[in-house]
Chain A
Amino acid sequence: MATTTSTPTTEAPPEPPSGRRRGGVLPWLGVAVPGRRTYRVWQRNRDVFFQLWRAELMPPLVEPVIMFVALGLGLGTYVELTGDTEYIQYLGPGVLAMFPMFASVFESLFGAYFRMDQHGTYAAILSTPARPEEIIAGDAAWAATRGAINAALILVVMVALTPVYGLIESPLALLTIPAAFVLGAVLGSLGLAYTSQARSISQLTYFFSLFVLPMFWFSGGFFPLESLPGWATAVAWFTPLLHAVELNRGLVTGDIGWAHLGHLAWLVAVFFPAFWLALWTMRRRLVE
């Protein structure tokens, strides 16, 4: 075939610079370690959130109030607890973990799916120096942040209700905000890993029905799990929400001990494999 001046030279491509790996991927992890552009991705999500903050603020303020009224004041009058605890007080620590859980999970399912598939947000970021791992880490961090924001708002509601119902008994309750961040990091990572496998929006709801809702009911937030058969308690111990609720119970009442540190350790320990799973699965989805 006729060629013009553009005949390429036939030199061999240069050897890889020492210490460089393809896309920064570590051989024994299968992913690159996310770098500082994680923060840029997080900033992007934050900016979009604050653009829409008025719409985003209402649910976390209203939903817990409805739950306190319906369950705490309605159902609660029929519930007899040991000691002098009111049922509405028993609910508090659970609410401080459940609604943040929903916020983090929604963000990592629907929010991430839209960014990945519908709006091309991930594609846009991928052509900048940000790596896939940084997009995933930024999104996981944002899911966790959504949980923390949600917990902070609920805490405001609970503090406001405390003079009447005695919901908050210790300033340690402030630490439920970082606790929601940790829970959100775990669940956001699992949510992103699931989203990476989804081929349609409707598939996302399975994660909800089969994982999130059972966790919601059997976290010990609504009733002590001792009343359940032993195997159910055992299963519940493997779900993240239970540990967040137990941790919150200590923080809200101020009655804190080694067991609570154990719950935190459980969440932190599970975060690392969950986060790796998110990086590994979502990377494969993004880099075909």
Chain B
Amino acid sequence: MPAMIEAHGLVKTFGDFRAVDGIDFRVEAGEFFGMLGPNGAGKTSTIRMISCVVPITAGALQVDGLDVRYEDRAIKARLGVVPQDDNLDQDLSVRKNLEVYARYYDVPKRLARERIDEGLELMQLQDRADERISALSGGMKRRLVVARALVNEPRLLILDEPTTGLDPQARHLVWRKLRLLRERGVTILLTTHYMDEAEHLCDRLIVMDHGRALDDGRPRTLIERYVGRDVLELHLNDEERARVRAYLDPRLGESARVEQIEDVTYVYGLGQEHAREVEELVGDHYRVIDRRANLEDVFLTLTGRALVE
């Protein structure tokens, strides 16, 4: 089966600045694919090229088998895009926003009305259909933008940081809706700088930084590859840190290692018995966190920096 998105050596420059610096990736039909990276990684620039809003500088990019350089209209007709910043029509009602949008896709009026009802219900906005945009909460606006992106029944739904700025409850509701859409067979591409979002939702993801792809794979695979299963996270003062390092360093062996990032010490791949020992050494269990490794640790390992500053 052809890929939904296929990028080879994809580049986007602004003047001399390389916002996307030669990335390769492939998204299969039906997949929930993530792009994980901090602000400025080049996620939005990549998405804007995929959705044929800006031209590619170099490389090759195909969406649903079509070349973005020549088939912009045909590609856009198959996409739904949820941009990073809400750009709803403030002066129009919830329903009117969707009606206006459906017209750009030439959806016949009656069919549009059906889909809009469906979309509003799916996003739990059916009671809000006649309200002004300004009367909606942040989470409702996001869900409305998702509903808007569905009016043309897209084969590929692209979401740029869909939950940035939302409170935890609103986030979880958005996540639930996205999982539902995946179950219905929509291919989803999502960008985020939240590692928990990427880990929760994505079948597969690409880790980006400074316009480059660091690696891609399943979240669990990446975690196992770079970090192992468990992490010991230590919040220590200088004296305690010296004590712990004196104990750990001779015992690290082949598979374990220590990273110091800002004031936090991360110990990867350490056996359980040593973890106990370290806890004893520090004495205060709240500052020794023995936890499962996550994508944040992958990013830390790959770049030496945190995802969200």
Residues of A within 8 A of B (CB): 1-4, 6-10, 12-14, 16-17, 20-24, 37, 40, 43-44, 47-48, 51-52, 119-121, 123-131, 287-288
Asked whether, in the complex, the Cβ of B24 is within 8 Å of the Cβ of A8, the reply is: yes
User: 11 interchain pairs (CB within 8 A)?
Assistant: A4-B221, A14-B67, A37-B104, A51-B96, A119-B90, A124-B89, A127-B51, A127-B81, A127-B83, A128-B104, A129-B73
Shortest C-beta distance, A149 to chain B (Å), equals 17
Determine the interface band of chain B, counting residues with CB < 8 A from chain A.
35 or more
List the 8 closest A-B pairs by CB distance, nearest first.
Answer: A120-B87, A128-B104, A13-B60, A20-B70, A127-B81, A4-B217, A124-B87, A129-B76
Which residues of the other chain, A, contact B96 by a CB distance below 8 angstroms? 47, 51
User: Which one of B53, B67, B81, B104 lies within 8 Å of A40 (CB-CB)?
Assistant: B104
Q: Is B194 an interface residue (CB 8 A)?
A: no
Listed stretches B6-14, B111-119, B121-129, B252-260; interface member: B6-14
Which residues of the other chain, B, contact A48 by a CB distance below 8 angstroms? 89, 91-92
- Main SS of chain A's interface residues? loop
User: Which one of A8, A23, A37, A123 lies within 8 Å of B87 (CB-CB)?
Assistant: A123
Q: How far is the CA of A48 from the CA of B96 in the complex (A)?
A: 10
Which residues of the other chain, B, contact A2 by a CB distance below 8 angstroms? 215, 225
User: Which one of A3, A10, A23, A125 lies within 8 Å of B55 (CB-CB)?
Assistant: A23
Which residues of the other chain, B, contact A128 by a CB distance below 8 angstroms? 76, 101, 104-105, 152
Q: Is B25 an interface residue (CB 8 A)?
A: yes
Q: Which residue of A lies closest to B88 (CB)?
A: A124
Which residues of the other chain, A, contact B106 by a CB distance below 8 angstroms? 129
Q: Which residue of B lies closest to A21 (CB)?
A: B70
Asked whether, in the complex, the Cβ of B26 is within 8 Å of the Cβ of A47, the reply is: no
Q: Could you mark each residue 233-245 of chain B with 1 if its beta carbon is under 8 Å from any beta carbon of chain A, else 0?
A: 0000000000000
Which residues of the other chain, A, contact B215 by a CB distance below 8 angstroms? 1-3
Asked whether, in the complex, the Cβ of A13 is within 8 Å of the Cβ of B62, the reply is: yes
Q: How far is the CA of A74 from the CA of B89 in the complex (A)?
A: 44
Shortest C-beta distance, A26 to chain B (Å), equals 14
Which residues of the other chain, B, contact A47 by a CB distance below 8 angstroms? 92, 96, 100
Asked whether, in the complex, the Cβ of A288 is within 8 Å of the Cβ of B14, the reply is: yes
Q: How far is the CA of A129 from the CA of B103 in the complex (A)?
A: 10
Q: How far is the CA of A129 from the CA of B100 in the complex (A)?
A: 13
Asked whether, in the complex, the Cβ of B216 is within 8 Å of the Cβ of A4, the reply is: yes
Which residues of the other chain, B, contact A16 by a CB distance below 8 angstroms? 67, 69-70
Q: How far is the CA of A46 from the CA of B62 in the complex (A)?
A: 36
